[in-house]
Amino acid sequence: MSKWLLWFIGFLLGILASVLYFSKVYAYEYTPDDLYLVASVTYSEAGNQSELGQRLVADTIFNRVDSVDFPNTVSEVIFHRGQYTKRRLAPPPSTQQLVAEELYSRTNPYVLWFRTGNYHTYGTPLIVEGSHYFSGEVDYGNDERNAQLYFQPLRQYEMEE
């Protein structure tokens, strides 16, 4: 084989490896048990919060599954040491419905962490909803105008309620 053909094959393999690593093209297939577990954790963590607060908690789980920086399955994300509450409440149908909706249309595709009372020391502070402070991986260039544009869809969602 010529060295150009070998170079070309190596080039194509490099592109394929990059695509697999950076975009997770091996999409995770959610099962009904996964969605019930997400709903249970969402209700356990945010059952006393607004619908938006519950949606954002569900988004932290889905966004982590989609991220290359976190485990690849719902169970691994939820049961990762020190993350979500170990308490599991049976979610009402309304929480199960909003989790199913969030799977296909995320309220916020950037939230990865939340806590009560203050932001985490890592991640970019994004939004406070109820008693939860959400942060994530988003860079809007430390420009307040860009941050306001980023949160515009969220503000519209709040006004529609």
Range of the structural domain that residue 110 is part of: 3-160
Spatial separation of the C-alpha atoms in residues 103 and 65, rounded to whole Å: 11
- Which has the higher per-residue pLDDT, 116 or 20? 116
Q: Give the number of domains in the chain.
A: 1
Q: In the prediction, which pLDDT does 47 show?
A: 93
Q: Could you report the per-residue pLDDT of 30-43, keeping only the tens digit for each?
A: 999 999 999 999 99
For residue 144, give the CATH number of its domain. 1.10.10.2520
Q: Could you report the per-residue pLDDT of 111-154, keeping only the tens digit for each?
A: 999 999 888 887 888 899 999 999 988 655 555 544 544 454 44
Q: Could you report the per-residue pLDDT of 71-108, keeping only the tens digit for each?
A: 989 999 999 888 898 888 899 999 999 999 999 888 88
